[in-house]
Structure 1
Amino acid sequence: MNNLNDEMVYGKNPVLELLKSGKPINKVLLLTEGPGGRNQEIIPLLQERTIPYQFVDRQTLDRLTNRERHQGMLAYVAAREYASIEDILTVAEERQEEPFILMLDEIEDPHNLGALLRTVDAVGAHGVIIPKRRSVALTGTVAKTSAGAVEHVAVARVSNLVQTIKELKKKGCWVSGAEAGGKDAFEADLTGPRVIVIGSEGKGISRLLRENCDEIVSLPMRGKVTSLNASVAGSVLLYEVLRQRGVSQ
């Protein structure tokens, strides 16, 4: 998947068949036609599979498809199947390890997600959680940037990060959000069942998600720049969790 067209399927019948096949889909774009439009029949299928969809104008679809015959429908195909939260917890159970999970709040840069997947694989974390909306999905660019890690890391895509955090807490996980103004991450106790939350490149962790974290940790900053790239900050924290757990484990 080296270009945009490799990640797209368009045309009424191709998109419908893609949906019926059960293959992973990141998002569907539909032509704005009103309640009686021809693309209305696809919406129940999208809702049944909880696939995000968006209505756009004809000019947008023409531009994305180089004016080929799209019939008002375009689907972005995922680079691989998404996992569930239970799948991620099962990975930890099978390894006889305490859960070690990375949660990403509205990361939009595919290169950041790809780099983080590579680090998750390197440190032996059990999976990644991303939101269905306002976040980059498992695109071809993400797969390429991950240098193959996308094939080895379980990625769950959920509708509500806050609800997911609450569910993980019930299963014994401790949630550490990365944000400025928190306790020094190198002095914090990051052992035990752990979820590390990294916020978006511009806004950081959303308010409601931050309020549901058990603690906020920060990386010490000694220079004049006040923040780090999301993939850099996430990678440093993931390795700190690995260090505290003991590399031998």
Structure 2
Amino acid sequence: MRLLATPDRARQIEAAHGRQRALEPAEAHAIGLILPQGAVHQGVALRPGNLPDVELADFAPAPGAVLLMLDQVTDPQNVGAILRSAAAFGAAGLILQDRHAPKLSGALAKAAAGAIEHVPVARVVNLSRALDDLARAGWRSVGLAGEADLSLATALDGGPTVLVLGSEGEGLRRLVGERCEALASIPMPGGFESLNVSAAAAIALYEASRPR
């Protein structure tokens, strides 16, 4: 871990929390030089340690447990917002593909507002095979698809569930959708055709958190 702060900020930090061994006083322009381009700081920058590696086997099925899986969702702002919702609703974790998914840094970390420290994230090579592995471990997968006749509320049974969401443009890929035990839609009586994927994830997490 590395903590940089301007002299004024350093004094404020130490006054509030005591002496910090990792704290390095630095001028504002020096802090800006080590941050990604376009990043905004207020006189403080923290480089945390690496996040722990997470495997599918680390997700133990339990009644009411919910995992999220994202298929080809590449916008870091969306993934960050989904992580924030996952933390708010107590999701057990998030599963991303090795490719076609953003890194847990930069804009994603900012949008997540600290949630990447609270929600375990596993990366897998193949989402279809991951769904097979999770099914053998006792998880039931429900894919969100706007064209599905089954409503999400009906599809959920209160057991350990993987909610699978696809990209806003193409939705779930065929092979991923075929591996889901059920496909369900979020009823939209207003007649609008679709939701932003992060909004859909928040609604799905809320629905899954309701007692059954």
State the TM-score bracket (shorter-chain normalisation).
0.7 to 0.9
Matches within 5 A, 1:1-80: 3-4=36-37, 80=51
Identify the residue that residue 187 of structure 2 maps to in structure 1: 220
Would you say 1:174 and 2:174 are equivalent positions?
no
Superposition RMSD on alpha carbons, in Å?
2.2
Shift of 1:198: 0.5
Question: Offset at 1:166?
Answer: 0.2
Aligned 1:1-249 pairs, distance under 5 A: 3-4=36-37, 80-89=51-60, 99-182=65-148, 183-245=150-212
- The 1:82/1:143 distance shift into structure 2, 3 A limit, reads farther
In structure 2, what is the Cα distance between the partners aligned to 1:124 and 1:108?
A: 23
Is residue 142–residue 155 contact of structure 2 (8 Å, CA) maintained in 1? no
- Cα shift at 1:134: 1.4
- How many Å apart are 1:153 and its aligned residue? 0.6
Q: Which residue matches 2:42?
A: none
Does the CA contact (< 8 Å) of 1:103 and 1:198 recur in 2? yes
Which amino acid letter does the alignment assign opposite residue 181 of structure 1?
A: E
Once the two structures are overlaid, the 10-residue window that deviates more, 97-106 or 142-151, is 97-106
SS in structure 1 of the partner of residue 91 of structure 2: coil
Deviation at 1:85, TM superposition (A): 1.3
The sequence identity of aligned pairs, in percent, is: 38
Measure, in 2, the Cα distance between the counterparts of 1:82 and 1:173.
Answer: 21
1:37-81 per-position Cα deviation (integer Å, ceiling 9, x unaligned): xxxxxxxxxxxxxxxxxxxxxxxxxxxxxxxxxxxxxxxxxxx34
Question: Which structure's relative contact order is higher, taking Cα pairs within 8 Å and 6+ residues apart?
Answer: 2
* Aligned residue identity for 1:85: L
What is the CA-CA distance between 1:224 and the residue it aligns to? 4.1
Tell me by how many angstroms 1:193 deviates.
1.1
The answer to whether the Cα contact below 8 Å between 2:142 and 2:164 also exists between their aligned partners in 1 is yes
Take 1:5 and 1:223, find their aligned partners in 2: how far apart are those partners?
A: 39
Asked if the contact 1:100/1:125 (under 8 Å) is kept, the reply is yes
1:210 deviates by 0.2
TM-score, normalised with respect to structure 2: 0.73
